[in-house]
Amino acid sequence: MRVWEIREASQLPGLRRDLRRELAQRLPGNVLDDLQIVIAELAGNAVQHGAHGPIGVSIHTAGPQILTRVRSAGHYRHHTTPASDITTLAESGRGIAIIDALVDEHGHDHQHDVTTCWARLTWH
């Protein structure tokens, strides 16, 4: 399992580059693309809605399964904007719906003022 730490949104492009570099030999390109989108959305939400401080991003691969976790201080809750409420000009509200379309399952847990958002992908 590998863990990255970020503190602000400006670090997200570097995180995506590191993911691609590290996982390109182990994952098909389309799976890696989906994983990058999912992690960018989860980490971006943690930066935007979580408490200030480090955000830990971890990836665990086991055969065709990938589990990613984004852990941050604070107690926040993700919500999905109904598709009917999202306009083409909306600047936010699509992230969790996108994640839902790309992964097998996802969720979040809260313990001791720490939020962990996770997503599980399976590829064949």
Q: What is the pTM of this model?
A: 0.82
| Pair of tokens at residue 70 | 């984004």
Give residue 96's pLDDT band: very low, low, confident or very high (50, 70, 90). Answer: confident
Report how many domains make up the chain. 1
CATH number of the domain that residue 22 is part of: 3.30.565.10
Name the DSSP class of 64: T
The whole-number pLDDT of residue 97 equals 85
What residue numbers bound the domain in which 95 lies? Answer: 2-122
The per-residue pLDDT for range 41-85, each reduced to its tens digit, is: 999 888 888 777 899 999 999 989 999 999 998 765 555 555 555
Give the C-alpha distances (Å, rounded to integers) separating 40 from 9, 10, 84, 85.
9, 11, 24, 22
Q: Does residue 50 or residue 24 have the better pLDDT?
A: 24
- State percent of the chain over pLDDT 70: 84
